[in-house]
Amino acid sequence: MAEKLDTSPEEEAIKDEARELMTGLVGSGAGDQTNDSAGAPTADGADIIKAWKSKYSAAPEDTTMEDFWSLYDPYLTSIWKMVYDEADSNENLKETIGFVEDLLAQPGMTQLKKDHDCWCVVHTLENLGIEGVWLFNGPDPSKLFAANEDTSWYTFTQLGPEAIDPVKAAVAKITMPIEGKLNGKVVKDTKVFC
């Protein structure tokens, strides 16, 4: 029998507070008043995103993680893992795939795509979970959060910034799942935001 979800007012208030915190936290800039250009999206960072999009879009089956790491610059770009917070509430695969499609089709995403501010691959798993990896122009996903309020339903965790072996392994596992599985779960659908 499926475990019943806690939808009490107290639990919902906690979730709402966490979503509000995530939405305001990254984009607030509080306490970070440096003049360092590495703290904001740059034209050079956009060039990196654009080069990766071009490489990946041309032949994703031939693209390798070495291609990715040859472009990555931890001072201009950042990598973030994304996990859907409400997977236990999902009722069917079609609906769950729709959540990903809706996330990537929000109106604010058009400008992010045009400006080469991000790239992502997002997988819907057999257990109706959603996981993805994002490459951002700049140190954090604040432009994404500002452009797309649906991101409040996801937890973002930075991978890196340095490209050490555990970071490379985590990025590779999500970007190019082995034998169609991610964390032991079959990948049922994949969306790429290029």
Model pLDDT for residues 85-124, shown as the tens digit of each residue: 999 999 999 999 999 999 999 999 989 988 999 999 999 9
| Exposure of 20 in the CB half-sphere (CA atoms within 13 A) | 6
Distance, in Å, from the CA atom of 192 to the CA atom of 99, rounded to the nearest integer, reads: 14
Structure tokens at 30: 């509080």
At 2-14, the pLDDT tens digits run 344 455 666 566 6
**42 CB-near residues (< 8 Å, 6+ apart):** 76, 137, 138
Q: Collapsing DSSP states into helix, strand and coil, what is residue 82?
A: strand
pTM (whole model) above 0.75 = yes
Phi, psi dihedrals of residue 176, rounded to the nearest 5°: -135, 75
Q: What percent of the chain has pLDDT over 90?
A: 66
Q: Which has more pLDDT, 193 or 58?
A: 193
Residue 84 has pLDDT above 80, yes or no: yes
pLDDT at 18: 52
